[in-house]
Amino acid sequence: MNKAQLVEAIADKMGGRQQAADAVDAVLDAIVRAVVGGDRVSVTGFGSFEKVDRPARYARNPQTGERVRVKKTSVPRFRAGQGFKDLVSGTKKLPRGGEVSVKKAPKGSLQMGAAAKKAAAKKATAKKAAGKKAAAKKTTAKKTTAAAKKTTAKKTTTAKKTTAKKTTTAKKTAPAKKTTAKKAPAKKAGARKTSAKKAATRKK
């Protein structure tokens, strides 16, 4: 069975071929990344994937029989779980319908290596930092809007006060001008009367 056949086999359970392909890719990618990072991926009842370091050694070329030095390498290794071994050996029978009766992993049995733990911790800290930055931005935006509202309110109130003062001063000065204008003709009338009295005395 190749990857395409595996996808077809689980397509009905995953709700479609595309969903099955995405699920298979995600699982394989997670396993490969964990093993490359030095972690051990263990699935209870199925098996475990891990990285094994092989020291430098001497080997023989099967064609020529010549002794060849092999460099130090790291290789992936899969160890089948006991449930998988029992099904393959025949001590346990596969169910005719439904899923294989592989035991579910109890809490804490899924092992995570140091690299995976560090990656998870980094993700958590990054999320916390992003949340703090967003909260800080919101608070600063609120403060700036509140300050802007206060300044605009102060400006409007001061403008209203200055306009009110101007109107009151204008009202006070207007009647004073009117009274002075009225008093001026009265003085002229008094001057006319005095001039008429002087002319009458002269005639006499």
Does residue 151 sit within a domain? no
Distances in Å between the alpha carbon of 72 and those of 53, 67, 69, 77?
Answer: 8, 16, 10, 16
| Amino acid 92: pLDDT | 87
Does residue 134 sit within a domain? no
Distances in Å between the alpha carbon of 186 and those of 77, 181, 198?
Answer: 124, 10, 19
Does residue 146 sit within a domain? no
| Amino acid 144: pLDDT | 61
Does residue 131 sit within a domain? no
Does residue 194 sit within a domain? no
| Amino acid 109: pLDDT | 46
Give CA–CA dist 186/179, Å, rounded: 11
Q: Name the domain boundary from 91, 110, 125.
A: 91
| Amino acid 166: pLDDT | 62
Question: 31 and 57 share a domain?
Answer: no
Cβ neighbors of 79 (< 8 A, separation 6 or more) are 47, 48, 50
What's the CATH number where 69 sits?
Answer: 4.10.520.10
| Amino acid 177: pLDDT | 45
Does residue 29 sit within a domain? yes
pLDDT digits (tens, 9 = 90+) for 27-66: 999 999 999 999 999 999 899 999 999 999 999 999 999 9
Which structural domain range is residue 73 located in?
46-91
Q: Which residues of the chain have pLDDT under 50?
A: 107-110, 174-186, 189
- Domain total in the chain: 2
Question: 51 and 34 share a domain?
Answer: no
Does residue 68 sit within a domain? yes
Question: 27 and 53 share a domain?
Answer: no
Does residue 75 sit within a domain? yes
Residue 167 neighbours by CB distance under 10 Å: 10
